[in-house]
């Protein structure tokens, strides 16, 4: 019987196949990121919507004029400074991008003019400016009949109460949180917290146990029943169910205090200051600039080709991933800020790729600066620094991907 000849199978190099497969997957991943990040590629398919959402459509600008009746006060400069400082803190903490203020005197009245440009909801910014949010803890005036059916609003008017020594400045923090109410449902409450070593507030609460006191906000009083149970928790009900509004109220409670009441006498929409360019043009420009610069560096031959490829690939991956992320997550973006971020990252990646010995030092120093500005900065600087921090991390990952990718491709192509 004739035997079949043995078929000799060459030993399969699984590592090589796996590498090959991995390089294909990585190439597709990079290409997809590039395609998504390029302008107008969302028009290729009607199935997906990933156009870059620019802030230019969201911006609005307004001028507000506040009037203060403090002309004859000796400390009017101090009052004005504290008022503008508090308003600036409130607005910048809320995320208003552009705030400009100045004060002036006219007809024995002091005025503060506030110019605001923002992409944040206008009604909330209005509220931050409109309400001085002057807080006082008040007790019932014994001469006033709060049960009088002729005057049902007596309980809400600050003039019917007597002031106590407690104002906003007496509290360390006013914490807004959800607690169970009398209907056994969760709603927002403001918890007034003092420093542990301060005993006056504790004594006050003990003195008024079981009685009704009030919290006056700009002359409108919310009555609060002091519980008889211990420990005494002073919880003021907040009239909102919305998280965003609770955040806003927390901001009003916790950003210093306005010393004297003011009146908003005028608010007017004004044209926005447009620093944005056409994002398609800008992204094309950045792309063109990157290609031209790398082609130039390639031609002058002052840097090794390997480093140039690595640096260019890291840059492309970082920027593509970042723009793709912004597009997919529909994050409203300032185009001019995106341009500056991209340019800064191109410069940083070029330096860190070429100088491997300085890579850690540069990244650490830049991450420190970015964190500091993200914490202490305001407006555009804060947004820029927060984005830069993420971009730095993305840059480090992209450099590793680029290094891994070029090494594998070289191995496969045996270059």
Partner 1 sequence: MNIAMHVWYNWSTFEKLQEGVLLLGILLITLLAIYFITKNRSILLLSFIGFSISALLNVIGLYIVSTLFKIEITEVFRLIPILTSILLVSNLGILVGFYIHRKGKKGFDIKDIRLEYFTDSVKQTIFLLLLSSSVFLFVSVQTQAILVVSTLSCLGAVWCVFWLSKKLLND
For partner 1, the binding residues in 253-282 under the rule CB under 8 A are: 273-278, 281-282
CA–CA separation, 256 and 166 (whole Å): 14
Looking at the Cβ atoms of 126 and 284, the one nearer to partner 1 is 284
Residue 357, interface with partner 1 (CB under 8 A)? yes
What 386-395 contacts at long range (C-beta under 8 Å, 24+ apart), as own/partner pairs, is 387/337, 387/341, 388/341, 388/344, 388/345, 390/322, 391/318, 391/322, 391/341, 391/345, 392/348, 392/363, 392/366, 392/367, 394/318, 394/321, 394/322, 395/314, 395/318, 395/345, 395/348, 395/349, 395/352, 395/363
Q: Interacting stretch for partner 1, rule CB under 8 A, among 167-175, 243-251, 346-354, 404-412?
A: 346-354
CA–CA separation, 26 and 404 (whole Å): 10
For partner 1, the binding residues in 208-237 under the rule CB under 8 A are: none
109, 240, 284, 390: which one binds partner 1 (CB under 8 A): 284
Q: Interacting stretch for partner 1, rule CB under 8 A, among 40-48, 64-72, 174-182, 290-298?
A: 290-298
142, 296, 299, 414: which one binds partner 1 (CB under 8 A): 296
> Cβ atoms within 10 A of the Cβ of 368, count?
11
37, 322, 350, 399: which one binds partner 1 (CB under 8 A): 350
188 forms bridges with which residues in the sheet?
178
CA distances from 353 to 26, 210, 249, 276, 357 (A): 20, 69, 47, 31, 9
Q: Which residue's entry shows tokens 């002058």?
A: 300
308, 346, 396, 401: which one binds partner 1 (CB under 8 A): 346
Q: Which residue's entry shows tokens 């990952």?
A: 397
**Rounded to the nearest whole angstrom, what is the least distance from the CB of residue 284 to partner 1 in the complex?**
7
Q: Interacting stretch for partner 1, rule CB under 8 A, among 140-148, 199-207, 213-221, 331-339?
A: 331-339
122, 304, 343, 400: which one binds partner 1 (CB under 8 A): 343
Residue 381, interface with partner 1 (CB under 8 A)? yes
268: closest CA among 60, 59, 63, 61? 63
**DSSP 3-state of 330:** coil
Query: Interface residues with partner 1 (CB under 8 A)?
Result: 81, 84-86, 88-89, 97-103, 117, 273-278, 281-282, 284-286, 288-289, 292-293, 296-297, 302-303, 336-337, 339-340, 343-344, 346-348, 350-352, 354-355, 357-362, 364-366, 368-369, 372-373, 376-381, 384-385, 388
């Amino acid at each position: 019987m004739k035997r079949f000849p043995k078929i000799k199978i060459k030993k399969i190099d699984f590592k090589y196949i796996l590498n090959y497969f991995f390089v294909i997957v990585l190439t597709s991943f990079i290409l997809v990121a590039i395609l998504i990040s390029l302008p107008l590629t969302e028009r290729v398919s009607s199935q997906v919507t990933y156009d870059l959402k620019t802030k230019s459509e969201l911006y609005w600008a307004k001028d507000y004029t506040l009037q203060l009746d403090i002309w004859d006060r000796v400390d009017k400069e101090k009052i004005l400074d504290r008022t503008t400082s508090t308003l600036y803190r409130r607005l910048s903490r809320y995320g208003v991008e552009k705030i400009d203020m100045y004060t002036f005197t006219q007809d024995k009245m002091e005025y503060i003019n506030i110019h605001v440009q923002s992409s944040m909801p206008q009604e909330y910014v209005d509220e931050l400016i409109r309400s001085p949010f002057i807080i006082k803890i008040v007790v019932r005036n014994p001469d006033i009949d709060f049960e009088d059916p002729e005057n049902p609003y007596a309980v809400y008017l600050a003039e019917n109460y007597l002031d106590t020594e407690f104002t906003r400045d007496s509290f360390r923090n006013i914490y807004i949180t959800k607690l169970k109410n009398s209907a056994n449902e969760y709603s927002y409450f403001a918890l007034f917290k003092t420093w542990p070593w301060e005993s006056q507030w504790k004594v006050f609460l003990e003195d008024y146990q079981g009685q009704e006191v009030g919290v006056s906000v700009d002359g409108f009083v919310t009555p609060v029943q002091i519980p008889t149970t211990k420990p005494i928790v002073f919880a003021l009900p907040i009239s909102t169910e919305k998280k965003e509004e609770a955040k806003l109220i927390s901001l009003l409670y916790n950003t210093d205090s306005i010393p004297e009441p003011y009146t908003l006498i005028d608010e007017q929409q004004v044209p926005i200051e447009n620093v944005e360019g056409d994002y398609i043009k800008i992204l094309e420009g950045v792309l063109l600039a990157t290609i031209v610069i790398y082609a130039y560096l390639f031609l002058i031959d002052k840097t090794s080709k390997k480093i140039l490829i690595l640096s260019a690939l890291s840059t492309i991956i970082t920027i593509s991933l970042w723009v793709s992320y912004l597009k997919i997550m529909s994050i409203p973006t300032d185009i001019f800020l995106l341009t500056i971020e991209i340019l800064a990252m191109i410069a940083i990646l070029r330096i860190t790729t070429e100088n491997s010995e300085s890579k850690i030092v540069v990244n650490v120093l830049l991450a420190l600066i970015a964190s500091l500005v993200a914490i202490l900065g305001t407006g555009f600087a804060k947004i820029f620094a927060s984005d830069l921090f993420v971009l730095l991390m993305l840059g480090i990952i992209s450099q590793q991907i680029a290094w891994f990718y070029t090494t594998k491709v070289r191995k496969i192509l045996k270059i």
